[in-house]
């Protein structure tokens, strides 16, 4: 907490400040529920009770419409993807709207239509919810919470069996941040930084002379295909707030392994790279909403990458590194030689991206 003891924007930005808030305050009061297989204090992307995955995700992106997406598409995709990265298939969603006085009905209907389209892409429905209206102020139009439940699938079981063929000590029932072992390859499904830069351009009225658009999309069907057709996934995250740097540091800390990535293997659009250089941003810390980073057993990594590149979502995928026992934390082999430490960011450099 800062010197004044008040919440700041950094407390919601996905880096060390937000993680400290969650661990030191929220987990302090809500941890210890014995029915959860994955407890709150594990801080994974969703929780497990029996064979059911449960997730709740709130979205306050500003502005509510941005190149490539809107708050409605973001809210559905965010919850669906957090369920999917544990290996589950989402099958029911609940939605809570907090609408600001003055939001036009045409904009609200545009958001609803976008949510319906995203639900159709994901193959999941919104079946209940709630609506509230607050006075006109600084809400930015609306805030949306989407909660969801998911279930185990045959594809998840196939994936776990593949992992066990190459790792006899593997006991996990789900795909968790803590499952990485030295030798696992790190696979990234596509270019980084697109979403954060698209939202920033809308926030600040910037034009980067290009068509940078958000990558926001539901990834559950892609993930189920990867699990069932090749398998070998040990850990998986969607690198949202805090970007790739935060996701990799979570893997490293929870699995107690080092991670070495290679700068020349990280896919990135040239215009995103140029915009980050111009603005002094580290693209590794910029949030994404349509990408996944995965740990894959080394024996299946090339086959896994080959399948991923046949999909629209993964056509620019790369093996960007591997887990190691040689050091702790995350390091990057740079294109100019030498290694650079990649720490967990303080927070995402672009505010209110999700």
- Looking at the predicted structure, is the pLDDT value of residue 305 above 80? yes
Q: Check the CA dihedral 79-84-85-87 and report its sign.
A: positive
Q: Convert the pLDDT of each residue in 45-83 to its tens digit.
A: 788 988 999 999 999 999 999 999 999 999 999 999 999
Q: Report the CATH superfamily, name and number, of domain 9-151.
A: PurM-like, N-terminal domain (3.30.1330.10)
Q: Say how far apart CA 184 and CA 130 lie, in whole Å.
A: 43
pLDDT at residue 3, as a whole number: 47
- Residues paired with residue 58 on neighbouring β-strands, in sequence order: 145
Q: Are 153 and 67 in contact (CB under 8 A)?
A: no
The arrangement of strands across the sheet holding 339-341 comes to: 233-237, 293-296, 185-188, 318-324, 258-262, 329-333, 339-341
CATH 3.30.1330.10 domain extents, the chain = 9-151
In the CATH scheme, what is the homologous superfamily, with its name and number, of domain 154-341? PurM-like C-terminal domain (3.90.650.10)
Provide the pLDDT confidence category of residue 131 given band limits of 50, 70 and 90: very high
243 versus 50: which is more confidently predicted?
243
Angle separating helix axes 220-229 and 301-308, nearest 10 degrees? 140
The end-to-end CA distance of the chain, in Å, is 22
Rounded CA separation 329/90 (Å): 32
At 14, the pLDDT band (50, 70, 90 cuts) reads low
Which pLDDT does position 12 carry in this prediction?
Answer: 66
The answer to whether residue 34 scores a pLDDT higher than 70 is: no
Among 17-31, 39-53, 171-185, the minimum mean pLDDT is found in 17-31
Q: Give the per-residue pLDDT at 210.
A: 73
Q: For CATH 3.90.650.10, list the domain ranges present in the chain.
A: 154-341
Residue 330 · residue 341 · CB < 8 Å = yes
Are 217 and 122 in contact by the 8 Å Cβ rule? The answer is no
pTM: 0.93
Question: Helix, strand, coil shares of the chain as percentages rounded to 5?
Answer: 35, 25, 40
99 touches 131 (CB < 8 A):
yes
328 — pLDDT class (breaks 50, 70, 90): very high
Q: What DSSP character marks residue 79? A: H
pLDDT exceeds 80 at position 200: yes
Tell how far CA 271 is from the center of its chain: 22
Residue 236 pLDDT > 70: yes
> Is the link from the previous residue into 107 a cis peptide, with omega within 30 of 0?
no
User: Cα–Cα distance between 149 and 90 in angstroms, integer?
Assistant: 6
Beta carbons within 8 Å of 301's beta carbon, 6+ residues apart: 185, 187, 232, 319
Q: Looking at 63-67, 133-137, 290-294, which range is the least confident one? A: 133-137
Specify burial of residue 280 (Cβ count, 10 A radius: 0-12, 13-18, 19+). Answer: exposed
């Amino acid at each position: 907490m800062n010197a004044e003891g008040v919440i700041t924007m950094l407390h919601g930005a996905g880096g060390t400040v937000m993680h400290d808030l969650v661990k030191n305050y929220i987990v302090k009061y809500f941890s210890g529920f014995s029915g959860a297989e994955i407890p709150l204090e594990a801080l994974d992307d969703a929780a497990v009770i029996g064979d059911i995955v449960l997730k709740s995700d709130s979205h306050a992106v500003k502005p509510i419409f941005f190149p490539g997406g809107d708050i409605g598409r973001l809210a559905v995709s965010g919850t669906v993807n957090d369920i999917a990265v544990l290996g589950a298939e989402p099958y029911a969603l609940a939605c809570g709207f907090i609408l600001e006085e003055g939001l036009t009905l045409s904009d609200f209907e545009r958001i609803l239509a976008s949510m319906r389209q995203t639900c159709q892409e994901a193959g999941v429905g919104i079946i209940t919810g709630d609506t509230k209206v607050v006075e006109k102020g600084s809400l930015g139009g609306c805030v949306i919470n989407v909660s969801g439940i998911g279930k185990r699938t045959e594809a998840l079981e196939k994936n776990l069996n593949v992992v066990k063929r190459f790792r006899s000590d593997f006991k996990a029932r789900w795909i968790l941040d803590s499952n990485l072992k030295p030798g696992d390859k790190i696979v990234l499904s596509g270019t980084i930084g697109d979403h954060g830069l698209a939202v920033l351009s809308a926030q600040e009225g910037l034009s980067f002379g290009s068509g940078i658009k958000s990558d926001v999309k539901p990834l559950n069907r892609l993930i189920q295909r990867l699990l069932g057709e090749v398998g070998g996934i040990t850990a998986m995250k969607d690198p949202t707030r805090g970007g790739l740097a935060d996701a990799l540091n979570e893997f490293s800390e929870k699995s107690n392994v080092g991670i070495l990535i290679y700068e020349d293997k990280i896919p990135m659009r040239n215009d995103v790279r140029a915009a980050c250089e111009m603005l002094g941003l580290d693209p590794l810390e910029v949030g994404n909403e349509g990408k996944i980073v995965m740990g894959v057993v080394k024996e299946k990594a090339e086959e896994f990458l080959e399948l991923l590149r046949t999909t629209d979502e993964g056509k620019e995928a790369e093996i960007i590194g591997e887990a190691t026992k040689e050091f702790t934390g995350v390091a990057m082999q740079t294109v100019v030689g030498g290694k650079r430490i990649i720490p967990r960011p303080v927070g995402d450099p672009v505010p209110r991206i999700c």
